[in-house]
Amino acid sequence: MTSFTEQISADLNRQAIELPSWAFDNAGTRFRVFTQNGSPRTPFEKISDASQVHRHTGLAPTIALHIPWDRVDDYGALARHAESEGVRLGTINSNTFQDDDYKLGSVTHSDPRIRQKAIDHHYSCIDVMNETGSRDLKIWLADGTNYPGQDDMRGRQDRLADSLAAIYSRLGDEQRLVLEYKFFEPAFYHTDVPDWGTSYAQVSALGPKAMVCLDTGHHAPGTNIEFIVMQLLRLGKLGSFDFNSRFYADDDLIVGAADPFQLFRIVVEVIRGGGYGNPDVAFMLDQSHNIEDKIPAQIRSVLNIQEATAKALLLDHSSLDAAQRDGDVLAANGAFMDAFQTDVRPALAEWRASRGLPEDPMRAYAESGYAQQIIADRVV
């Protein structure tokens, strides 16, 4: 059986994966949302559910909020509730894709009134950050066009730059703006922030407190995501991940479900590029579970990332480097495959037991009675 060295065990101690509050609510696909008994009715209950993931894995100490989905009267009280559950509030996500005003765009809209409305929403999100102690404001934009000639693409980039600059100027000294990208959906002819290059160009113009967010489900089929990870780390602009898994498009499935080897390759580049255990690079989940139970789905996701990380930490870099220097293609690939094919689950069970965590978090949660309790308590 594989055993971890003291160094690998110590490295695993540094892992922290932020959870999305919306993963615990009734949410799902664009086809149909299947409601579940015991679903949280308030942001406070979302936090309580999310805390179960950290309680059983030790891997998820922070919870990302989405405004206005997680709007409350007293964010200080929400932060104190999180602390009482053993977790903290994390990234604040904005929303400029639901109001009717944003049908043709938000921060890129040709109408200055609508652009200012979108900017003001981000100002409000920064106010929330000031109350919760959050560092990152994450922005994903649905802005784009469906038809050639619908709008001036360059003009929209200029308006995007101006709007982001206004939002950036409002950030506190310790706060950051993290700009996500997505190559399509809901805009099908062109999207205003479709790729890492556009996000990088925009945040680079803003300054050192602006970073790129990479969502693993937001790429065209066949995209080498680990190459993008490498490049953004090399450029010092990878601020965060949104981890999920996709078969076709932005499927929002449990990370590692579709291509665990890709997840492994991504983590290898994160470690090689200095992004692992780096507070400036946030590991986050962005998933919307529809047919599976919410809490165990999040537990499975963080465990999948931990397994990929353990395998990446086992990569024999001395053998890999020697094979690369010698031009031995098969030996170099073999070093990758040896690490990826190692069964790290028994060693991770030992690692958890040594830290007072359940050896099998999925079973421990199922046997905890929490699911049955919230179903009984949360009667609408």
Per-residue pLDDT tens over the stretch 210-249: 999 999 999 999 999 999 999 999 999 999 999 999 999 8
Mean pLDDT of 288-307: 95
Top pLDDT among 182 and 3 is at: 182
pLDDT at 130: 97
Look at residue 9 and tell me if it is in a domain: no
pLDDT at 333: 98
In this model, does residue 313 exceed pLDDT 60? Answer: yes
Task: Report d(CA 81, CA 71) in Å as an integer.
Answer: 15
User: How many domains does the structure of the chain reveal?
Assistant: 1
Look at residue 20 and tell me if it is in a domain: yes
pLDDT at 28: 66
What are the start-end ranges of the H helices in the chain?
Answer: 6-13, 43-57, 75-84, 112-132, 153-169, 196-206, 225-235, 260-272, 294-313, 317-326, 329-340, 345-353, 361-368, 370-377
The CATH number covering residue 165 comes to: 3.20.20.150
Instruction: Calculate the CA dihedral of residues 60, 66, 69, 72 and round it to 10 degrees.
Output: 80
Its domain, for residue 198, covers 14-314
CA distances from 206 to 82, 95, 168, 171, 241 (A): 32, 21, 7, 12, 20
**pLDDT tens, 21-67?**
999 998 766 678 888 898 999 999 999 999 999 999 999 999 999 99
**pLDDT tens, 53-104?**
999 999 999 999 999 999 999 999 999 999 999 999 999 999 999 999 999 9
pLDDT at 30: 67
Look at residue 255 and tell me if it is in a domain: yes
Instruction: Calculate the CA dihedral of residues 55, 352, 288, 365 and round it to 10 degrees.
Output: -60
Amino acid at residue number 20: P
Confidence of residue 3 (pLDDT cuts 50, 70, 90): confident
pLDDT-above-70 percentage for the chain: 99
Look at residue 193 and tell me if it is in a domain: yes
Top pLDDT among 250 and 350 is at: 350
Task: Report d(CA 51, CA 186) in Å as an integer.
Answer: 32
Task: Report d(CA 20, CA 326) in Å as an integer.
Answer: 45
Task: Report d(CA 178, CA 237) in Å as an integer.
Answer: 9
Q: What is the pTM of this model?
A: 0.96
Look at residue 342 and tell me if it is in a domain: no
pLDDT at 354: 96
Look at residue 334 and tell me if it is in a domain: no
Mean pLDDT of 163-192: 97
In this model, does residue 1 exceed pLDDT 60? Answer: no
Look at residue 328 and tell me if it is in a domain: no
* Rg over CA atoms, the chain: 21
**pLDDT tens, 320-373?**
999 999 999 999 999 999 999 999 999 999 999 999 999 999 999 999 999 999
Q: Pick the range with the lowest mean pLDDT from 145-154, 174-183, 285-294, 298-307.
A: 285-294
Token output for 103 = 């049908």
Look at residue 32 and tell me if it is in a domain: yes
Q: What is the mean pLDDT of the chain?
A: 96
